[in-house]
Amino acid sequence: MGDTAVIIMAAGKGKRMKSNLPKVLHNLAGEPILNYVLDTVDQLEAKRKILIVGYKSDKIRELIGDKIEYAEQKEQLGTAHAVLQTKKLLSGFTGDVLILSGDVPFLTVKTLKKLLKYHQDNNFCCTLLSAVLKNPKGYGRIIRDKKGKIKGIIEEVCL
């Protein structure tokens, strides 16, 4: 994918899971959820890969080792704050940046390649992959106008 950096957000606790284990370390079919995301990202052949860690970061670092760059989010203050923790690491980087959650094990490399191609072909400054759910309870919302253009993003607690 050429000059692409991938940021993977894995700093949160996953409060709704009611566990002491970081959400991304929970097993799915015998593998930590985060491993599926990292395997997908590896197939993108990105120039840079940065994992944002926070809650029990030592456990994540122990699993992943030094095959990736790390950014630390000491306080979990939301998605935008998490991404800001990569600012110094990406200083001077001029390529595209793909931001992923660390808990999306079913997101395929095919989908991400199509997203990046669409983004690059249209020379967009920002492209957002979202889903329309029949029952979005528990999730934030993408607010769109009548033509489908994104107007904002709002957390469920703010509705």
Which single residue is written with the structure tokens 């931001």? 99
Residues 6 or more apart whose CB falls under 8 angstroms from that of 88 comprise none
Instruction: Assess contact for 123 and 116: CB atoms under 8 A.
Output: no
Chain centre to alpha carbon of residue 101: 3
Instruction: Assess contact for 33 and 77: CB atoms under 8 A.
Output: no
Asked about 16 being catalytic, the answer comes back as yes
Instruction: Assess contact for 28 and 37: CB atoms under 8 A.
Output: no
CA distances from 23 to 9, 43, 54, 91, 141 (A): 11, 23, 12, 29, 21
- In our burial notation (b when 16+ CB lie closer than 10 A, e otherwise), range 49-69 reads bbbbbbbebebbeeebeeebe
Which residues are annotated as catalytic?
Answer: 16
